[in-house]
Amino acid sequence: MNTLHPLMPDADMMLWSAAAGALGLVVLLALADAFYSRTRAASQTLAYLALCWAVVLLLSGLPAAIWPGAYDELATAQFLAGPLCAAVGSYGASKWLSAHQRDHLMQVSLLAITLVCLAGVPLCLLLAPEWRLPVSGALAIANLSVVLWLSVRATQLGDRMAWGLALGCLLTLPAQIGLYGLALNTSRPPLLLQAGVALAALLSVVITAAMLWLRNHHIRQMRQGEVSRRDPITQLYDGVAMVRKIIGAQQRRQRTRRDGALMAVLLFEPERLLPLIGQAGLNDLYIQLARRMQRHTGAVNPAGRYYDRCFMVLLETMHSPRWIRTLGLRVASSLRRPLDLRSLDGRRIRVTPDIAVGIVHLSAAGKDVDQLLHEAQSVAQAARAMRSRAAMLDPESHTAVPVEHADLGSSWRALRDAVPAVPPRPKNPKTPKSAGKTPRSGRPRHKPA
């Protein structure tokens, strides 16, 4: 039986070339993930996806159309790739589903079907040529059916992520049947049918790859003991994450000369509200302030809760320095509007938060993070005495000035040229008492969690 199609119409060749390219992109992404994570699970995922790409390529007949002289080698690879890919897939599914910990039936079934497929690879060589590809297809489809059944069983045992693997297997089933039917027929089926098979194969590989990556990422986080970098109340970045974001922004600015600013939002004397609204109401106050702040700063600018009453926003998406004035005034005006909160006796009350906004331009790349954070908080404290409640650090006088009176210039370059070089602040500065250029009264001593 001639299972290869040396001659392929141009439309068919274009279709399967596009499918092979799309699947190849998924394999390249898996390769990048394996190189980045350097874990065994990522390497197994890469091996499985590469075999899936090879199976689709071989069964479609595209290699035979490109290299018609390599008939014998392609025919052998065609019936060997299916069971081998199925064995790797069932072995990976056993690890992915944690079969050895979840269910004895699942563990035995996946091990048995894996061994059957591995044994079927050399046994296919002993069969008559006309039986090799049908037996290979039967082994691959039987393996897929078992994995589909056990994935659904895993969902019944409480693994919600197994629904994604079951969906991938469900899409792989018609794709495999169509590919083996395409390889076994001596004539090419209609182009529309081939397009459906190619689409099913592509969707199945994409969904399976996504689920494998999600489970691998989850396991890697558990093994590394990573903690959440989000504030549990506001879901903003915590202090440690914001420090890392600022360091990254400084490094990017040294490479790309990209401009930006650091905004600090301080809430003053929140403890005076505790007898009125309690800790739950105070948490609701922080949540509403965070939402209002992000509504103006945008989702692409990293925002974090540096400590309980201090928010930090790293601004890197402003087109000109004048946006600093506009944004500072908007944030200060929005956060000063009354908030609807629930008191301890259950009544709805309106509370006006006592806030101030301080902005520091990321002009001196030599400043350390502690200096930038201290300056932003000091400027915010000085802004409390201003009418607009928004201030900016003047680059020349190094004092806090209201943003509505700040000389920002018409472009980032003009603002950069006006900034004198500032050396990094020493760890134990010895400055005279008369050299106070930024307001230091009430400097917060809180450290990020």
> What single letter denotes the amino acid at residue 178?
G
- If one compares 299 and 192, the residue with the highest pLDDT of the two is 192
Residue 61 CA to residue 13 CA, distance in Å, equals 9
Using the predicted structure, report yes or no on whether residue 203 has a pLDDT greater than 90. yes
Q: Reply yes or no on domain 239-435 having CATH 3.40.50.1980.
A: no
Q: What is the pLDDT of residue 65?
A: 78
CB atoms within 10 A of CB 262: 25
* Rounded mean pLDDT, 185-198: 84
Using the predicted structure, report yes or no on whether residue 52 has a pLDDT greater than 80. yes
The pLDDT-based confidence of 79 (bands split at 50, 70, 90) is confident
- If one compares 420 and 197, the residue with the highest pLDDT of the two is 197
Please state the φ and ψ torsions of residue 2, each to the nearest 5 degrees.
-85, 100
* Rounded mean pLDDT, 50-78: 82
> 143 with 90: CB under 8 angstroms?
yes
Burial of 334 (0-12, 13-18, 19+ CB in 10 A): middle
> For the chain, what are the domain ranges?
10-224, 239-435
Q: What is the pLDDT of residue 366?
A: 60
Share of the chain above pLDDT 70, in %: 82
Distances (CA, A) of 400 to 266, 294, 396, 406, 411: 15, 24, 11, 9, 21
Q: What is the pLDDT of residues 243-282, one digit of tens each?
A: 988 888 888 777 766 677 899 999 999 989 888 898 988 9
Exposure string of 347-364, with b = 16+ CB inside 10 Å and e = fewer, is eeeebebbbbbbbbbbbb
3-state DSSP assignment of residue 281: helix
Residue 87 CA to residue 113 CA, distance in Å, equals 7
The pLDDT-based confidence of 224 (bands split at 50, 70, 90) is low
The pLDDT-based confidence of 318 (bands split at 50, 70, 90) is low
